[in-house]
Amino acid sequence: MRLQDKVAVVTGAASGIGKEIAATYFREGAKVVIADLNQEGADATAKEFDPTGKRALGVAMDVTDEAQVDAGMAKAVSAFGGIDILVSNAGIQIVDPLDKFDFGKWKKLLAIHLDGAFLTTRAALREMYKQGRGGSIIYMGSVHSKEASPLKAPYVTAKHGLIGLAKVVAKEGAAHGVRANVICPGFVRTPLVEKQIPEQAKELGISEEDVVKKIMLKNTVDGEFTTVQDVAETALFFAAFPSNALTGQSVVVSHGWFMQ
């Protein structure tokens, strides 16, 4: 039990990577808050983990909405007595070439990834500083925090931005024992990626099989997708890490696609 009695808020935890991180934290003894735009999914996930509701809570939260973020974080504090871990994970993908990219879609993507990270961070830091027991803030970056791909301009921009935010949190948070890290996964077969396969096939004029083999997994060492478990184990490692030694660092979890 590496997170016994810790309180963790995971955004976008009704699905995919966030759900697996919340499940892993729950298994390790944490009280988990499943914060998601999809309230039904958040409630169902919390129930799935803990039907008694004592250690898992679903919270409706649009991470781009200041009032909803502050209210959701306040709910977490009043239900479980504080916040020790924030995983800012909620995200979407929109693919299009730059010369055709719709401005509204650009702004929407940046808002979810960057405004969402800022708003949840600010609310978590306020609580962590007040509590005086430190904390861990983890951002879901991507190989696209380090590398670019065509058709993904706002995503690559936002994911690079999260590395900068994490470094500032590491510097400002240190005096309060708050650490910050970024996890940078390769392709993980979640609904977010399932949606991209036909979209990219259409955009690039190739088959869906080729999108997987020749684009998504082309540069991995084993031709395999990164799994939600690969990412959740890394999120556990950072959340449970006992010192400031790794603060400000990002780690790529990509089956060798991108090596630093």
CB 25 within 8 A of CB 10: yes
Query: Has 139 been annotated as catalytic?
Result: no
90 versus 125: smaller Cβ distance to ligand NAD? 90
174 versus 193: smaller Cβ distance to ligand NAD? 193
Tokens of 242: 């006992």
Q: Which of 18, 58, 135, 161 binds ligand NAD (CB under 6 A)?
A: 18
User: How far out from the chain centre does Cα 230 lie?
Assistant: 13
CB 83 within 8 A of CB 77: yes
Helices (H), ranges, the chain: 16-27, 39-49, 66-80, 103-110, 116-131, 153-173, 191-204, 208-210, 228-240
* Binders in 91-150 for ligand NAD, by CB under 6 A: 91-92, 112, 140, 142
Shortest distance, CB of residue 43 to ligand NAD, whole angstroms? 12
Residue 11 bridge partners (DSSP): 35
Q: Which stretch binds ligand NAD (CB under 6 A): 26-34, 58-66, 166-174, 237-245?
A: 58-66
* Binders in 159-218 for ligand NAD, by CB under 6 A: 185, 187-188, 190-193
Does 16 engage in binding with ligand NAD (CB under 6 A)? Answer: yes
Among 172, 144, 141, residue whose Cα is nearest residue 238: 141
Under the rule (CB under 6 A), what is the footprint of ligand NAD? 11-12, 14-18, 36-38, 41, 61-64, 89-92, 112, 140, 142, 185, 187-188, 190-193
